[in-house]
Amino acid sequence: MQHKPLADQTIVVTGASSGIGLATARMAASRGARVVLAARSGAALDRIADDIVREGGQAVAVGADVGVRAEVEEIAARAVAAFGGIDTWVNVAGLTIYGPLAEVSEEDHERLMRTNFWGTVNGSLVAVARMNRRGGALINVGSVASDLAFPYQGMYSASKHAVKGFTDALRMELRLTDAPISVTLVKPTSIDTPLPRRARNYMDREPMLPPPVYRAEEVAHAILHAAVHPQRDIVVGGAGKLFVAGKEFAPGAYDHLAGQIAALQKRTMEPRRPEGALHAPQEDDTGHVHGDQPFPVLRTSAYTRASLHPLATASAVVGLGLAAAALLSPGRRGRPH
């Protein structure tokens, strides 16, 4: 399946007020697409949409909570009213919590699942209903946490596992009805966005993402590639693919990395904003694509760029598999349990 050129598409992007969503919306508009931006921060979205229009693009902003089905229906209605239809729908909206599972409140757990999982479900089902006859691309942004678990981000990992299961099942059901809709799951590794600053933080230190960290634009590039040239799954960041392959090869050895992973999620400074943006948007974090990672940020991923071209994918996966086997072999890490 191949879709329209990007310049002929209308693209809906949720979570478009910052990070990957904002990078995707700006990149799509710069390539000629008509963009519908959605997020809880309506005022910030209006400013972003105005900037895109001033630069010669086409954009409309819709303030909406993706965890509420009726508000997602309104996103679709506004897209149709403004541009006549929807060609690609990108579910990016997501939040995280840092802290031991037993210490996180039930209210916080539920809010995270409402955004990360139910927001993806709502967006996907609304998009499919709108594209079922004319065709299009559905792109869900999961994470390497769709395949891995991370200590102190347990519910985030659970939500991304759920997104993967839902996306895979929906893809199969669409095939049963021959719906002309492609379904892609994009799985980024650590990405330089404001996500850690926006997290609900139960830890005793400010959170950060474990290195290596990649630029948000690399994820946006993969998303927009899938909007025209669909692929089933795209991992952004060769390091993420390496750890996924390593866990499959030696899951016990990966479990033994829990201490190192937990340590890499904490900075030395005290937490600045423990509440984060879980229950309400933080306006000073909107409008920003990048975060403030203390490590150097990689501009591109050679693995991801290769995987976007089918003939190169097999050799890239084999190479990473061999590297993962060497990294996590029992001889190097001890006997797996």
pLDDT of amino acid 255: 86
Q: Phi and psi for 274 in degrees, rounded to 5?
A: -60, -30
> pTM (2 decimals)?
0.90
Strand order in the sheet with 34-39: 58-63, 34-39, 10-14, 88-91, 136-141, 181-188, 233-236
Architecture of the 6-333 domain: 3-Layer(aba) Sandwich (3.40)
The one-letter amino acid at 122: N
Per-residue pLDDT of the chain (337 residues; tens, 9 = 90+): 789 999 999 999 999 999 999 999 999 999 999 999 999 998 899 999 999 999 999 999 999 999 999 999 999 999 999 999 999 999 999 999 999 999 999 999 999 999 999 999 999 999 999 999 899 999 999 999 999 999 999 999 999 999 999 999 999 999 999 999 999 999 999 999 999 999 999 999 999 998 999 999 999 999 999 999 999 999 999 998 988 888 888 888 888 888 888 888 888 777 767 889 999 988 776 789 999 888 899 999 999 999 998 665 555 556 656 655 555 555 544 444 4
Q: Long-range contacts: 42-49, Cβ < 8 Å, 24+?
A: 43/283, 44/17, 44/281, 44/283, 44/286, 44/287, 45/16, 45/17, 47/287, 48/16, 48/17, 48/22, 48/287
Q: How far apart are CA 78 and CA 257, in angstroms?
A: 46
Kindly list the catalytic residues: 156
143 neighbors 187 (Cβ within 8 angstroms): yes
Structure tokens at 296: 């150097």
Annotated domain spans of the chain: 6-333
Q: How far apart are CA 147 and CA 161, in angstroms?
A: 7
Strand bridging mode 10-14 / 233-236: unpaired
pLDDT of amino acid 157: 97
pLDDT of amino acid 336: 42
pLDDT of amino acid 271: 74
Short-list 198, 188, 180, CA closest to 128:
180
pLDDT of amino acid 246: 84
- How would you label 114-140 residue by residue, b for 16+ Cβ within 10 Å and e otherwise? bbbbbbbbbbbbbbbebbeeeebbbbb
Q: How far is CA 186 from the centre of its chain?
A: 7
Kindly list the distances between the CA atom of residue 8 and the CA atoms of 31, 40, 87, 228, 263, in Å, as whole numbers in the listed order. Answer: 10, 27, 9, 10, 46
pLDDT of amino acid 333: 45
pLDDT of amino acid 314: 55
Count the neighbouring beta carbons within 10 Å of the beta carbon of residue 315.
10
Q: How far apart are CA 110 and CA 124, in angstroms?
A: 20
Structure tokens at 247: 């866990």
